[in-house]
């Protein structure tokens, strides 16, 4: 089973320390979230899995970590200054502010039965474009209005990759096709953030830009769609909760030739099946748009695009064909936060115990579990048992994430570990002092097995990875 709705995960996440409302003691800050002890481990494990799969296991991808604040020209020439905006309207009657393209999704506060603009008392202004980039000012300038010091928080990590294309190419001696991968924070001043960590103004992206010969782009694009569809399932997300979506011509970004989204069933409670799905990730063929626009004084087909500010040409010279051209870019882009939400929803399971009480089990893939094994002493007032339990924890720790917990009765401790997705509990009891063995309990089956302490590490490695 999966979680019945996002609210179930919000509640579990807060109760168990995965995700807290940010700035909570000051009333929050419009859909901002902080990651607690377990949330940061789960997020880190998702990032590690992505990085290992792309950068370590393949031989054609380099890592990168570029700055959040870049020179303003990056966003001028990428097109974000002029096109990265939402159309907003204000209602003079109810004082509400709405996205013109999302009026159907909200209600008029004065007339909840109508959408803004539908009721005759509504008085909407003309739409104006609201740029989604956060603005700031760099350096000790006199006022915030000094345009020369204006800068933005990056709305995507991708541009940091494009502007470093030549640096990476020169230092790595790569030949096409090859990719550059980056994980990092991005910021979008969304008008209506919401749905927990699904849409937030501050979020974390995992983006990879894969540079290819233009003629190879369609086939390699399809390959990355297939590969990411597989990778998402390798995180434990079931195929029936995933759906591929081909963007239509009028949905495509101005730089994209084709984009396929992978949707997750974030809203299983909605009666209309079509409305159950929303975007987990997108895989775009960005063409040669980005490398072209950041190159010194290039002209496009119509002779319009000039870039006198760039100092470099980001074209590629092919030794084999002796040709120079701008590579095409295939971009699989996925959010850490949306992945974490999908992983938690898909792992969420309820089960009845023998007393008929409902218990929550988070059936995470062991690779993603914040904690791989919990060591629990059956009698915390017996020093030999506590000492042995702590020793087992310390012996396991170098090779896997282990915790020691003695803050409750064994039934309560098991239930806690089930809820946070720990695949195994190890119980140290009186007998352990004599037979040098412990009881291992499985999260998913609740079955128990007696294992010699000397074989514990091997047993757990085989099962928890």
Interface residues for its own copies in 385-404 (CB under 8 A)?
A: 390, 393-394, 397-398, 401, 403-404
If one asks whether residue 211 binds its own copies (CB under 8 A), the answer comes out as no
Is residue 98 within a helix (H) or strand (E), and if so which, with residue range?
Answer: strand 97-99
Tell me, letter by letter, the H, E, C secondary structure of 249-308: CCCCCCCCCEEEEEEECCCCCCCCHHHHCEEEEEEEECCCHHHHHCCCCCCCCCCCCCCC
- Residue number, 17 or 177, with CB nearest to its own copies: 17
Instruction: Report the nearest approach of its own copies to the CB of residue 218 (Å).
Output: 28
CA 115 to chain centre: 32
If one asks whether residue 87 binds its own copies (CB under 8 A), the answer comes out as no
Among residues 100, 103, 119, 134, the one that binds its own copies under rule CB under 8 A: 134
Among the candidate windows 160-168, 215-223, 249-257, 326-334, which touches its own copies by CB under 8 A? 160-168
- Residue number, 8 or 137, with CB nearest to its own copies: 137
Contact 341, 325 (CB under 8 A): no
Among the candidate windows 2-10, 19-27, 206-214, 361-369, which touches its own copies by CB under 8 A? 19-27
Write the binding mask 327 to 366 for its own copies: x where contact by CB under 8 A, - elsewhere: ----------------------------------------
Determine the 3-state secondary structure of 95 from DSSP. coil
Instruction: Report the nearest approach of its own copies to the CB of residue 173 (Å).
Output: 5
Enumerate the β-bridge partners of residue 233. Answer: none
Among the candidate windows 10-18, 103-111, 298-306, 444-452, which touches its own copies by CB under 8 A? 10-18
Write the binding mask 304 to 333 for its own copies: x where contact by CB under 8 A, - elsewhere: -----xxxx-x-------------------
Place of tokens 């929803």: 345
Instruction: Report the nearest approach of its own copies to the CB of residue 127 (Å).
Output: 12
- For the segment 94-113, give every residue that binds its own copies (CB under 8 A): 97
Per-residue DSSP letters for 426-459?
EEE-TTHHHH-EEEEEETTT--EEEEEGGGHHHH
Among residues 5, 8, 32, 276, the one that binds its own copies under rule CB under 8 A: 32
CA dist., res. 59 & res. 82, Å (int):
37
Contact 353, 359 (CB under 8 A): yes
- Residue number, 252 or 403, with CB nearest to its own copies: 403
If one asks whether residue 195 binds its own copies (CB under 8 A), the answer comes out as no
Instruction: Report the nearest approach of its own copies to the CB of residue 166 (Å).
Output: 7
Among residues 92, 106, 109, 138, the one that binds its own copies under rule CB under 8 A: 138
CA distances from 333 to 276, 294, 339, 341 (A): 21, 20, 11, 16
Q: What separation, in Å, do the N-terminal and C-terminal C-alpha atoms of the chain show?
A: 24
Per-residue DSSP letters for 215-241?
GGHHHHHHHHHHHHHHHHHHTT--GGG
Instruction: Report the nearest approach of its own copies to the CB of residue 311 (Å).
Output: 5
Angle at 13 between CA 207 and CA 51, to 5 degrees: 25
Instruction: Report the nearest approach of its own copies to the CB of residue 263 (Å).
Output: 27
If one asks whether residue 301 binds its own copies (CB under 8 A), the answer comes out as no
Residues 8-34 as b or e (16 or more Cβ within 10 Å = b): bbbebbeebebbebbeeeeeeeebebe
Among the candidate windows 112-120, 166-174, 356-364, 440-448, which touches its own copies by CB under 8 A? 166-174
Instruction: Report the nearest approach of its own copies to the CB of residue 138 (Å).
Output: 7
- Residue number, 165 or 277, with CB nearest to its own copies: 165
If one asks whether residue 154 binds its own copies (CB under 8 A), the answer comes out as no
If one asks whether residue 185 binds its own copies (CB under 8 A), the answer comes out as yes
If one asks whether residue 160 binds its own copies (CB under 8 A), the answer comes out as yes
């Amino acid at each position: 089973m999966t979680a019945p709705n996002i609210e179930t995960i919000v509640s579990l996440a807060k109760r168990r320390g995965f995700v807290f409302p940010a700035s909570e003691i000051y009333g929050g800050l419009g859909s901002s979230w902080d990651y607690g002890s377990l949330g940061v481990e789960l997020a880190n494990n998702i990032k590690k899995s992505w990085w290992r799969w792309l950068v370590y296991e393949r031989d054609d991808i380099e890592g990168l970590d570029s700055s959040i604040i870049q020179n303003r020209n990056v966003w001028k020439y990428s097109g974000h200054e002029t096109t990265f905006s939402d159309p907003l309207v204000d209602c003079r009657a109810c004082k509400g502010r709405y996205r013109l393209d999302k009026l159907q999704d909200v209600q008029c506060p004065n007339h909840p039965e109508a959408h803004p603009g539908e009721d005759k008392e509504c008085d909407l202004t003309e739409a104006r474009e609201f740029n989604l980039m956060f603005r700031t000012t760099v350096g000790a300038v006199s006022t915030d209005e000094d345009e020369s010091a204006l800068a933005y928080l990056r709305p995507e990590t991708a541009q940091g990759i494009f502007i470093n294309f030549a640096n990476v190419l020169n230092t790595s001696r790569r030949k096409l096709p090859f990719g550059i991968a980056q994980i990092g924070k991005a910021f979008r001043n969304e008008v209506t953030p919401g749905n927990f960590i699904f849409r937030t103004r501050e979020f974390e992206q995992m983006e990879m830009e894969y540079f290819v010969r233009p003629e190879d782009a369609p086939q390699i694009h399809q390959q990355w769609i297939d590969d990411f569809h597989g990778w998402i399932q390798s995180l434990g997300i079931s195929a029936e909760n995933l759906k591929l979506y081909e963007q239509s011509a009028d949905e495509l970004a101005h730089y994209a030739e084709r984009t396929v989204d992978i949707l997750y069933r974030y809203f299983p409670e909605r009666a209309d099946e079509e409305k159950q799905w929303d975007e987990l990730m997108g895989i775009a063929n960005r063409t040669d748009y980005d490398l072209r626009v950041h190159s010194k004084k290039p002209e496009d087909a119509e002779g319009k695009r000039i870039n006198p500010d760039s100092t470099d040409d980001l074209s590629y010279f092919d030794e084999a064909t002796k040709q120079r051209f701008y590579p095409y870019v295939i971009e699989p882009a996925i959010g850490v936060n949306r992945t974490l939400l999908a992983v938690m929803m898909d792992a969420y399971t309820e089960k009845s115990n023998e007393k008929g009480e409902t218990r929550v089990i988070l059936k995470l893939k062991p690779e993603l579990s914040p904690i791989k094994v919990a060591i629990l002493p059956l009698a915390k007032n017996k020093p030999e048992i506590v000492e042995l339990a702590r020793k087992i924890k310390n012996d396991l720790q170098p090779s896997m994430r282990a915790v020691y917990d003695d803050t409750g009765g064994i039934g309560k401790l098991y239930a806690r570990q089930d809820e946070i997705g720990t695949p195994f509990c190890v119980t140290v009891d009186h007998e352990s002092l004599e037979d040098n063995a412990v009881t291992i309990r499985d999260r998913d089956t609740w079955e128990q097995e007696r294992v010699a302490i000397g074989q514990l590490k091997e047993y757990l490695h085989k099962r928890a990875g």
